[in-house]
């Protein structure tokens, strides 16, 4: 059997492998995987172009994907939600956060890894939701003065008292409905002290919203081996003011 969207155990979301719909699902999933692989290549190529550098080593790995595999003498569909394959010698990249170290690791032959179906994490994991970290805002359109040095905002279309000839225009604005627990300006200052160049980003991706990666990796015992430790020097992310239709 192959689980459908979000892998919820419901009769309506189970597809028979070998059926027309099941095979179409597998084909679409594999196409999405190839698209993701190509997308990562494009990002790497663009970063290398900006830096004027060349790649000497690349590590690719999927997560939220299903693989047809042999385990304990049987064939299974292994769905790794939030984790990646880690067979002996198979490498993977595991991200920490914008302010903490990430690693490249490989799977190790062990009873522990075999029981985990040769799988490991793809990230440190969150300790709080995005909303808890960044708060909740409500977006709505309001009128602002077209004079770039004016910060007046109006509920209705009306001339600005200070710049009546400038006119007004509609612009999206945010109202804080519930404050978040992360002090984002403090996080930005801390990253600058660490020498990390940050472009974009927001409180929902701050280092404190993630578990400590060394502790997470230690919990995996002898199923993995860290081969490289990577310190962040630059982080580029979409900012909170950037509309991302695919953001989870």
Q: Report in angstroms the alpha-carbon separations of 157 from 58, 141, 143, 146.
A: 54, 11, 6, 12
Whole-angstrom distance, CA of residue 233 vs CA of residue 230: 9
In a domain, 52, yes or no: yes
Tokens (6 digits) for 235: 């982080």
Radius of gyration of the chain (CA): 23
Q: Please indicate, yes or no, whether residues 42 and 88 belong to a single structural domain of this protein.
A: yes
Q: Please indicate, yes or no, whether residues 119 and 224 belong to a single structural domain of this protein.
A: yes
- Number of helices and strands (H, E) in the chain? 5, 14
Q: Please indicate, yes or no, whether residues 95 and 23 belong to a single structural domain of this protein.
A: yes
Q: Please indicate, yes or no, whether residues 209 and 139 belong to a single structural domain of this protein.
A: no
In a domain, 248, yes or no: no
User: Which pLDDT does position 125 carry in this prediction?
Assistant: 92
Total domains, the chain: 2
- Give the DSSP H or E segment for 55: none
Q: Please indicate, yes or no, whether residues 71 and 46 belong to a single structural domain of this protein.
A: yes
Whole-angstrom distance, CA of residue 177 vs CA of residue 171: 19
User: Which pLDDT does position 242 carry in this prediction?
Assistant: 65
In a domain, 22, yes or no: yes
SS3 content of the chain, % helix, strand, coil (to 5): 30, 35, 40
pLDDT in tens, the chain (248 residues): 344 444 444 556 788 889 999 999 999 999 999 999 999 999 999 989 998 999 998 898 888 899 999 999 999 999 998 899 999 999 999 999 999 999 999 999 999 999 999 999 999 999 999 999 989 877 778 888 988 888 888 888 889 988 998 998 888 777 778 889 999 999 999 999 999 999 988 999 999 999 999 999 999 989 999 999 999 999 988 776 666 665 54
Q: Please indicate, yes or no, whether residues 109 and 169 belong to a single structural domain of this protein.
A: no
User: Which pLDDT does position 177 carry in this prediction?
Assistant: 83
Q: Report in angstroms the alpha-carbon separations of 198 from 5, 36, 51, 119.
A: 34, 24, 16, 31
CB-CB neighbours of 129 under 10 Å: 11
In a domain, 229, yes or no: yes
The whole domain housing 139 covers 131-179
Q: Please indicate, yes or no, whether residues 26 and 135 belong to a single structural domain of this protein.
A: no
**3-state SS assignment for residue 130:** helix
Q: Please indicate, yes or no, whether residues 109 and 57 belong to a single structural domain of this protein.
A: yes
In a domain, 143, yes or no: yes
In a domain, 56, yes or no: yes
Q: Please indicate, yes or no, whether residues 54 and 159 belong to a single structural domain of this protein.
A: no
């Amino acid at each position: 059997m192959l689980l459908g969207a979000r892998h919820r155990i419901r009769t309506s979301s189970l597809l028979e492998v070998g059926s027309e719909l099941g095979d179409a699902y597998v084909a679409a999933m594999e196409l999405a995987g190839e698209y993701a692989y190509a997308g990562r290549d494009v990002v790497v190529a663009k970063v290398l172009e900006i830096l004027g550098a060349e790649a000497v080593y690349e590590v690719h790995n999927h997560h939220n994907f299903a693989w047809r595999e042999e385990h304990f003498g049987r064939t299974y569909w292994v769905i790794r939600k939030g984790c990646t394959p880690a067979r002996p010698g198979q490498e993977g990249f595991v991200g920490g956060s914008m302010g903490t170290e990430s690693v490249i690791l490989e799977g190790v032959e062990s009873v522990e890894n075999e029981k985990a179906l040769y799988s490991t994490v793809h990230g440190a994991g969150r300790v709080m939701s995005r909303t808890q970290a960044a708060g909740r805002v409500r977006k709505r359109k309001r009128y602002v003065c077209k004079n770039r040095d004016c910060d007046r905002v109006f509920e209705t279309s009306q001339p600005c008292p200070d710049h009546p000839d400038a006119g007004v225009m509609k612009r999206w604005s945010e109202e804080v409905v519930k404050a978040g627990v992360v002090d984002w300006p403090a996080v930005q200052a801390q990253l600058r002290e660490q020498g990390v160049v940050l472009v974009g980003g927001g409180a929902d991706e701050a280092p404190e919203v993630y578990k400590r990666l060394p502790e997470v990796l230690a919990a995996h015992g002898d199923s993995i081996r860290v081969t490289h430790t990577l310190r962040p020097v630059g982080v580029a992310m979409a900012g909170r003011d950037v509309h991302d239709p695919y953001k989870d």
